[in-house]
Structure 1
Amino acid sequence: MNTKPIVGIVSPCYNEALVLPETSAQINAVLADLAARNLISEKSFAVFIDDGSKDQTWSIIEQQARQLAHIKGLKLAGNVGHQKALLAGLITFKDEADALISIDADLQDDVRVIEDMIVKFKSGTDVVYGVRKERVTDTFFKRNTALLFYRLMKIMKVNIIYNHADYRLCSQRVLNALSEFGEVNLFLRGIIPSIGFRSDVVYYDRLERFAGESKYPFRKMAAFAWNGVTSFSNYPLKLVTIVGFVIFFFCLLMTGYALFALYTGNVVPGWLSTVLPMYFLGGVQLFCFGIIGEYIGKIYSEVKQRPRYFIDKRVD
């Protein structure tokens, strides 16, 4: 292991003009400090990926790249989403560093644990996950929906790290393995643990957002969670079969009840046996068709094999 590895920090940005000057300054200071203490190479860098921002994000990235020694920039041709923007940075710069660290631009992930990640990497660890100690900064709603998300992933047999988002270090050989994944429906929190190799975790307290607004409201978080489930588990399809058996058993009970009610004369003949199964089975069928349609839609996206992103500009 190189005693002074080249380390790159990759941060996707979408409309982060308010926070970006502070983020780049803090990360640049961390890299300069680690290089001064001979923990990493002076060639180490941070790259900010502009994911089709509509504000001044790219102009700030260009300005910071000119003023700060360790800052680089990558501009995508359009908005492709957080996961694809992150992948663009990882794949583009994987051959220029011994390891890459992914981190969000909002400064909620504590940059001070970057040193801990590098120490574990230098000891032979290929993946180091940044894991939150607790969720005291979250609202009651967000904290409980997050817990529900991880429990759902566990039920669906999706291999992810509890309380880990996208704050992680990956060695070059992990990144080379990641580049072989050609899927369009990206869920890096599930893909990277599935690669294998030696891994470890560092724990940190998640901070308040420095400025700006979250780019992941509930609607996007719910879509992200559903994408993770359907990208890594066929359990919902198995659930359709389970629901079918439950309905069959329920219908047997309803048949017995309908015959008993008809015999006692408590209902209008034919009403119970017609209306209840019709509404119940209709709703279940729509539910099952929706799940099957979701998987068919993913197959449709994958078989087209369209490029996941296009790079517009790069600044070093």
Structure 2
Amino acid sequence: MLEPNESFVVVTPVYEDHVASTRLFTELARLYGDRVYVVAVDDGSIREPVQPFQLSSSGVSGVVLKLRRNVGHQKAIAVGLGYVEENLPDAQRVIVMDSDGEDLPETIATLLEATRDENVDVAVARRKSRVETLRFRAFYVVYKFIFQLLTGRTISFGNFMAIKVSALHRLNAMHEVWTHVAAGLIASKLRLAVCPIDRGPRYAGQSKMNFVGLTLHGFRALMVFAEDVLVRVGLMCVLVSSASIVLAVVATLLKLAGYATPGWFSMALGVLFLVFLQTGTLTLMTLMLSGIVRGTIQKPGAYREYLAGVTEVTADVAPR
């Protein structure tokens, strides 16, 4: 359970979602009152930008970070985390959650409880149930399989998480978080506690993430582990190249033994040569790229370059 006086910061990206985000702020105020401080990152909204009165009238204090352009929810979260580290030094716990209601505010207490373990740096939510289409579920299964195949790691959680302040400093030093939050968290090697949590339905509207966006999101997770992916692809190319050489030798032996039909040997040898040439070239490319891809430190204060405005908000009504 949440301690009576325990306060925390909620970082949530918002993009063209006035109704749902207002509902989230209201729910946070109802459940946690003045113990919660909201960092709402407006991801370059034009039609429905986040307004300060949405927070104040809902009963929560916080800040609205207006971004210069739409950068996607992963970078928006990274901007929010950077702001918290630099401007809210007293924050001991940071909650990252979506603003559409699918991350249920009442389950925040479960994540915070998990972070009380001294051997846990970040508590993440693994979905017990999902309110999604069959197409999305099938894509998610394929995505997890490909991710494990190419990186050797498993990913079973998203953006909903509770972060200790010590872990926040490490995450903000990792440029990978700006590409994919969950994959960046895995790359950070921080100690994770996985909490099975139900996913809720959207408060309002439809998800703005289409199939192309989901596919791109999956590729960005692979980009975080580019070196691992390149090495594994290189090894597969070596195996295919070796197999093509073996098959070429077999074809030659069959030709010499007189078992090859007219034209078969030259066609088979030509195809195998092309396979060898292409996979060999790809192997060399992956080896060269694997020497280029290296992790770097994210510069402190990088989030400020994305900000168009910062508006601090104080709750107008008493916490409920």
TM-score, with normalisation over the residues of structure 2?
Answer: 0.78
Pick from 41, 56, 70 the counterpart of residue 79 of structure 1: 70
Give 1:287 deviation, angstroms: 6.0
Identity of aligned residues (%): 18
The aligned counterpart of 1:69 is: 59
The aligned counterpart of 2:210 is: 217
Cα distance in structure 2, aligned partners of 1:296 and 1:14: 38
Cα distance in structure 2, aligned partners of 1:258 and 1:304: 55
Cα distance in structure 1, aligned partners of 2:279 and 2:117: 53
1:88-126 alpha-carbon deviations (Å, 9 max, x no partner): 111201325211100011111222111222333345543
For residue 115 of structure 2, give the secondary structure of its aligned residue in structure 1.
helix
The aligned counterpart of 1:37 is: none
Cα distance in structure 2, aligned partners of 1:48 and 1:188: 17
Change (3 A) 1:44 1:183: same
The aligned counterpart of 2:82 is: 91
TM-score, with normalisation over the residues of structure 1?
Answer: 0.79
Cα distance in structure 1, aligned partners of 2:174 and 2:43: 21
Change (3 A) 1:264 1:147: closer
Q: Mind listing any 5+ residue stretches in structure 2 that lack a counterpart? A: 313-320
1:190-233 alpha-carbon deviations (Å, 9 max, x no partner): 33244455542332221222323323322222222222223125
Cα distance in structure 1, aligned partners of 2:291 and 2:209: 26
Q: Mind listing any 5+ residue stretches in structure 1 that lack a counterpart? A: 33-41
Are 1:133 and 2:125 matched, yes or no?
no
The aligned counterpart of 1:26 is: 27
* Superposed CA RMSD: 3.4
Are 1:47 and 2:39 matched, yes or no?
yes
Give 1:290 deviation, angstroms: 8.1
Pick from 308, 311, 316 the counterpart of residue 315 of structure 1: 311
2:115, 2:122 within 8 Å by CA — same for their partners in 1? yes
- Which one-letter code corresponds to 2:113 in the other structure? V
Pick from 141, 146, 163 the counterpart of residue 147 of structure 1: 141
Change (3 A) 1:100 1:307: closer
1:230, 1:295 within 8 Å by CA — same for their partners in 2? no
* Stretch moving more, 110-119 or 233-242: 233-242
Change (3 A) 1:96 1:252: same
* Stretch moving more, 110-119 or 285-294: 285-294
- Which one-letter code corresponds to 1:170 in the other structure? I
Q: Higher relative contact order at CA 8 Å, sep ≥6: structure 1 or structure 2?
A: 2
The aligned counterpart of 2:16 is: 15
Change (3 A) 1:54 1:224: same
Aligned length: 301
